Structures are given as structure tokens and as C-alpha cells.
Amino acid sequence: MSILVVSVSHRSTSVGMLSRLAMGATATAQLAEQLVASDHVDEAVVLSTCNRTELYASVSRFHGGLDDAVAALAALAGLSVTELRTLCAVFFDEGAVAHTFSVAAGLDSVVVGESQILGQVRTALSVCQDAGTVGTVLNSLFQQALRVGKRVQTETGIGSAGRSLVTAAYDLLATERGSLEGRRVLVVGAGQMAGLAARTAAAAGAQVSCANRTLVKAERLAESVGGRAVPLDQLDAALADTDVLVTCTGARSMTIGAGQLAGTPVTGVVDLALPPDVSEDVHTLGISLVNLDRLVAGRDDDTGSSEVAEARALVRAEVRDFLGLRRAAQVAPTVVALRSMASEVVAGEMSRLSSRLPTLGERERDEVQRTVRRVVDKLLHQPTVRVQELSTDPDAVDYAAALRELFALDPQSVAAVMSAEVPSA
């Protein structure tokens, strides 16, 4: 099986288009189920965040799998397949592994090195595991990607920087409206991003209030930051006592506009929702609006920093090691098939010996059989060990294919061993 990634992200399209592809956990599970029901996709994971929607798949055929994935995304966005193809990036096998690890490490994010993506990747994997769309190939890929992301966060300077979309948004707002210290901040939403926004504001010395459609969630978040909870149906009253509004709901039915903020003391808005919660017309009130469009437009990949260079080097080493192990695992079926063929040859020759020497005693026959097997094992030992060692080199020739050709191994025998005994990745 091969790994395919189809990515629509801030690198390939606008935030507005990403809004059309954004989806929650239920929708991602349904899309993954739709993919594995197609002709060429065996496993699928769907990752949807505020700056990307990506399909990860284990496919039997590249072009067929790509067509299935692109058609599914096009239907979701209400676009033609041709239009969707212009908005996406495609990664295959080695490139797919490298992309997955880079995403989990935060190296492909709007804010390079942000750590929230690690939790989002973990959640995407869990949701699709529950939906039954994850097998050995993608489970192996994502479990290793999560380990790589954790290493980047804990072992490199990128992790100690505490980067996130929230901190980037607050920094941008601070250049226009000053720090959050002593300000009244209202956080609308209660998910991971809202939680980070509330904690960051509280740490900066702000007075934090939390509003959410489910009051108990708002109460839980408010309690964790020493703030107060507000029912969402009392939002207008809460806005009358707010300096900075932060929204992270992603609810398609929620739009806060200039009319709702007119006459309030709100001077700054941070909107990290996708689709956006706050309309652009709040600018007419002199309010500073920091949203995903501004963050994407002002992003700085910081590719020259030593922290990013260190993180990218770690990811490259992890990709190389993962691919080496994967190549070694793919050689194993050929080795097993070769040894199985050798055992059949030994069995055939022993049968012939029995027919030619019917008076040969059982003891002598056993000794001859052990001797022949030892000879075969010794002859095969070094070549099979070496082919597994050499297969980990990405620049090496396909030694497994050479073995199959030299010994005329039946492809169906190798495939049977692979499906029954050895995972594909």
C-alpha cells in the first residue's frame, strides 16, 4: 500500500475557501468513511483545522486514490474537480511521510512551531479510528508523527518559544491597541483554541469572561482562569462590559457585526474561528480586527531561525528512519517467501531420496534432512540479512526485487506473505 495526502491549506488557497472546507468531528468521520468505501482507498484520516483540510489515505493505486480524494473534497466545497485541483497540494509516499511529520511538528502552520496542531492531529486520528477507517498503514504513520511532533516541542527551541495562533493574534492586536493587562476580555467559545485564548489573556493580566452556548462549559473554562461565565443569550449585555472580544466558535450560524458592537467599549477583536464569527464591517467603528486573513497575510515562516532549522533537521532524520524501517518491512515478505521456497525444495529432495533409497533408516534420513537444511540456511543467511540491512538505504537499489527475479519467486506467494504476516508500513 502507498500513502497519499491531499492538502488544501493556507499555503494553497484563501481563508474564505478554507471556510467552505472546514468541518467538525462528525463530518470528518463521515468523509473518511466515504473515502474507504471508494474503489482505491483502504484507509483514511481527515484533518480539518482553521488553516487546513487534508485527506490522508492508504491507497492501492495512486491515480485512482487521488481522483477519489479530490472528488470528495470538491463535492464538500461545491466546486468542480478541476477547480479543486488548482487549490490543493498532493504528496505521495516519501513526500507524504515528510509532510505528515512536518504538520504534526507545527512546521507547516501559519505560526511556525505552534503546538496546538499536535492535539488536533491526535484528535483527527482518534475520530477516524473510532469510525473504523484507520488500519496498520495510517496508524503507524500517525503514531510516529505524534512522537515526532512531541520531540520537536520538547527537544528544540521552537517548543520553548510557546508559539500559537493565539499569541500571534494578541501580539498583532497589542501593536495597535496595547497590551491586555487590566483589560476586560470576553472569550466566546469553549474548545481548545478558546481555552488557550482565555489562559493566555489571564496570564497577561486581563479580566476574563467566558461565553458559550453550553453554559456549563463556559463555567468550567471561566473557573480555570479565575473569570466569570456568561450565557451566550446574554452576549449583548456582556459586550457592554468588554474591551477586547475573542471568538473561537466556528459556528456557521454566528456572525457578530458592526451593529452588535456599536455603542460598546470594544476596541479590539480577535476572531480565530473558521468560518469567521465577526464580519469585516466592524472596521467602520474604528475597532481593530485580527482574524485568520490578517494572520495568514502577515505570516513569517522564520525559516532562517536556528530554532526552525533545528526542528526541520530533527524531522528530516525521523522521516529517514521511518522510511528505512518501512522499506525493511517491505523486504520481509520476499525473505519469508524465499525461505519458504527453500523449505519446499528441501522437502521435495527428501521425498525423492526416500523413493530412491527406500531402505534408508529413519535415523539416517533425519540426519540427512538436518544436514541439507543447515546447508540451505547457511547459504541463505548472509544474503537475506544483507538485503534487509541494505534496504534501509534510501538510495539503494531494490534488492528485494532483485531477489524475486533471481530466484523466480511467485509474486502471489510474496503478496500472500505480506497480507498474512507482515504489515505494509
Q: Which residues belong to the annotated binding site for NADP(+)?
A: 189-194
Pairing of β 288-291 and β 244-247 = unpaired
Q: Give the burial string for 355-388 (b: 16+ CB within 10 Å, else e).
A: eeeeeeeeeeeeebeeebeeebeeebeeebeebb
Give the full edge-to-edge strand order of the sheet including 52-59.
Answer: 41-49, 52-59, 2-9, 89-92
Pairing of β 52-59 and β 2-9 = antiparallel
Contact residues for 225 (Cβ-Cβ < 8 A; gap 6+):
198, 199, 201, 202, 208, 210
Q: Give the burial string for 213-244 (b: 16+ CB within 10 Å, else e).
A: eebebbbebbeebebbbbebeebeebbeebbb
Binding residues, by number, are: 49-52, 109, 114-116, 120, 189-194
Closest CA to 195 of 206, 183, 210: 210
Binding residues for substrate, by number, are: 49-52, 109, 114-116, 120
What is the residue-wise DSSP string for 269-285?
EEE--SS-SB-GGGGGG
The Cα–Cα gap between 354 and 350 comes to: 6
Is-catalytic flag, 50? yes
Contact (CB, 8 A) for 210 and 235: no
What end-to-end distance do the CA atoms of the chain give, in Å? Answer: 8
The Cα–Cα gap between 125 and 137 comes to: 12
The Cα–Cα gap between 149 and 145 comes to: 6
**Longest Cα–Cα distance in the chain:** 109
Contact (CB, 8 A) for 374 and 342: no
Cα separations in angstroms, 193 against 49, 188, 200, 228, 292: 11, 10, 10, 18, 13
Positions marked catalytic? 50
